[in-house]
A and B are shown apart, each in its own frame.
Chain A
Amino acid sequence: MATNKTSTRRKARKTGKANGHATDKQIAGKSKLELINVSKSYGEDWEREEVLVNLDLEIQPGKLTAVVGPSGCGKSALVNLIAGFEHPDSGQVLLDGKPVTGPGRDRMVVFQESALIPWQTAYQNVIFGPQLRGDMSAAQMKEEADKLFETVGLVEFKHKYPLQLSGGMQRRAELARALINQPKVMIMDEPFRGLDAMSRELMQEFFLRIFEKNRRTNIFVTSEIEEAIFLADRLVVLSNKPTRVRSVIDIDLERPRTFEMLSSAKAYEYKREAMEILHEEALKNFKSSGSQSDFVEAFSARNE
C-alpha cells in the first residue's frame, strides 16, 4: 500500500503534476467549493465598506488550500460566506455545483477562538451535532465519539468541561466535534491562533496527519505564512481590501510533511514569494489608511 502510494507520487511528479502530490484516487469523491464573482460589503449607506469585490476562488477537492492575506482583509468575511453564516451581496458560493444557502453540516468551521460550548463536557460537545439532528443511534453516537476521542488523544478528558482543557486540547476537541459530522469541507478559521509556539507546532503536525489520512477538502485561513506553507497544497494570497485573489502558489512539497521541509530551498522560495506579495499589499493599506502598521512592523521584524 505504502509503496503503491509512493510510486503514484513519483509518477505524478514525472508527469509534471504538482499540487502536493494528491493522487486521483485520493481526490475521487471529494467535494469542490467555488466562489464565483462574489461581492460582499458591510455597513449601511455612507459607511458602507466593500470587503469582497468580484472574488473568484476555487477550493479544489481533496486538497488543503491555505488562505493568507494582510490583516484586516476579508478573511473572516470569506469564512462566513463559505460557511453560510452570511450571504453574498452578489455572486455565488457553490459546493459541488450547488449553491450554498445557509449553514450546514457539510461545511464545518473550526473557529478562531475555541467555540466549544462551555456548559457541555467535551463528550457532550462532540456528540452535539448527531444529537441535534437525531441521525445516529445512541450506541453509534458513542462509538463514533469514542473513536474520535482516540484519534485526538483526549480519551481521559472526555468528561471534562472545555475550561478544564488546555488551549491545544480544546482545539483537538473542536476538531473531533467537527469531524463527527463527516463534513464535505472543513473550514479552519485561524484555528491555532492564540496557542503558544510549542502547542501550535504540535497541533499543526497533528492536524496534518488527520488531513493526510482522509484528504478531506480543506480551507485553512491563517495569518502565519510558515504555517500555510507547511500545511497547504495550494496557497492563496489575498489582496488588500477590496479583497481579490492576488496570487495562487502551488506548494510542491512531499507528503507526509515534516518540519524539516520548511528549511528546504523550495519552501524558502515559496515563503519569499508570498511575503513579497503580502508586503506589497500591506504597504498599500498602510498608505491608504494609515492603519495596519502592525503588519508591516511584524513583517520587517521577521526579515531582520
Chain B
Amino acid sequence: MTDAIQSAHDTTIVVAKRSKLRKLADNKTLWRGIASIILFILFWEVSSQSKVWFGIQVPFIGKVPPPSAVLENWVEVVQRPGYWQSWYLSFMRVFFGFIVAMIVGIPFGMALAVNRYFRDIFFPPFEVLRPIPPLAWVPASIIFWPTTELSIAFVTFLGAFFTIVINVLGGARTIDVQYLRAAQSMGASQWDLFRRIILPGTLPSIFTGAAVGMGITWEVVVAAEMISGGGQQSGGGLGFFIWSSYMGGSLAQVVVGMISIGIAGYFSSSMIRYIGYLFMPWRRIF
C-alpha cells in the first residue's frame, strides 16, 4: 500500500524534473492529433482537387473548395476589418448571454436543489420551458425586445441557461449525504454546509454545465445572426458573415466562416476548462 504511493510519488518527481518542452515532445496524444489534422487536410485537398476517384464522384467533399482556396480567401479576409468586427460581435453576444445565464442560472439551480418549496413552485414551469429549442424563441424574442441586439442576447442566454440550471441542480442533489452528516456532527451551520460542502461539491457540475452551455450558445448565436440579419452595424457577427458569403456566392468564404466559428468555440471551451482547472485544485491530481 505504502509502496504503491511511494512509487507514484517518485514518478511525479521524475516527471516534474523533465523539462516542459521535452514533455511536450514526448506527448504522443499531441503528435497523433497533429498528424490526424494534417491527414484530414491532405485528404480534403486531394479529393476536392480531383473530384473524381476511380471513376466515382467524391460526394460532398468534391463540391467543397479545397483547403488551399480556403486559405487563400482567408488571407484576404483577415485584412478586412469587417471580419474582425464579426468575431467581436459574436463573442460579445455569446459572452453576454453566457455570463447572464451563469449569474442567473447558478443561484436558481442551487435554490431548486436546496429548497423544497422553491423546487415545488419553480421546477414545473422550468421543465415545460426547457424543451423549447432556443431558436423557437427567436420570433417571440424579436417582438418582445426593443432591439435586435437584445433579442439575440436573450436567445443566447436561453441556450446556456437551461443547461446550466439542470447541471447545477443535478450536481447539488447528488452530493454524498455523508459529507453533510460529517460536517453537521462537527457543528456546521446551514451556511457552512452550503459554503463548505454544497457549493464546492457542485463546482464540477457547474463547469460541465458551463462547457455544454457554451457550445449551445455558439450554435444559437450563429443561427440567430443568420435569421435576424445581424443587427444594424456593418458585419453582423460570424453567423451573418457566413450567410452573406453564401448570398455573395463565395463558397470559400463560407468555409472560412465555418472554421472561424470552430476556432472560436474551441477557444471558449478551453477557457472554461482552464477556469475549472483553477477553481478545482482537487481535480488536478492525476
Contacts and interface: CB of A to CB of B under 8 A. Distances in A.
Contacts of B178: 111, 113, 115
B156 to A, nearest CB: 31
B201 to A, nearest CB: 7
Given A85-B181, A109-B182, A111-B178, A133 B187 contact: yes
Given A103-B181, A115-B179, A164-B285, A132 B188 contact: yes
B127 interface: no
Interface of B: 1-2, 4-5, 176, 178-179, 181-189, 192, 196-197, 200-201, 203, 280-282, 285
A287 to B, nearest CB: 33
B5 to A, nearest CB: 6
A118 B175 CA distance: 11
Given A161-B282, A163-B282, A166-B1, A109 B187 contact: no
A115 B1 contact: no
A248 B169 CA distance: 46
Contact of B186 (A85, A111, A120, A129): A129
Nearest to A163: B285
A242 interface: no
B118 to A, nearest CB: 23
Interface string A113-146: 1010111100000001100110000000000000
A85 B181 CA distance: 7
27 contacts: A83-B185, A108-B185, A108-B186, A109-B182, A111-B181, A111-B182, A115-B176, A115-B181, A115-B182, A117-B197, A119-B200, A119-B282, A120-B282, A128-B196, A129-B186, A129-B187, A132-B186, A132-B188, A133-B187, A161-B285, A165-B5, A166-B2, A166-B4, A167-B1, A181-B185, A181-B186, A199-B1
A44 to B, nearest CB: 16
A105 B186 contact: yes
A117 B187 contact: no
Nearest to B6: A156
> Nearest 9 pairs between A and B by C-beta?
A129-B186, A115-B178, A103-B184, A103-B185, A133-B187, A119-B200, A161-B282, A119-B282, A115-B182
B185 A107 contact: yes
A133 B179 contact: no
Nearest to A164: B285
Which of A113, A161, A198 is packed against the most chain B CB atoms within 10 Å? A161
Contacts of A113: 178
A110 to B, nearest CB: 9
Interface string A273-299: 000000000000000000000000000
Contacts of A85: 181, 184
B280 A119 contact: yes
A117 B182 contact: yes
Contacts of A163: 282, 285
Given A115-B176, A119-B280, A198-B1, A133 B182 contact: no
A119 B185 CA distance: 18
A168 interface: yes
Nearest to B181: A85
A104 interface: yes
A105 B187 contact: yes
A182 to B, nearest CB: 11
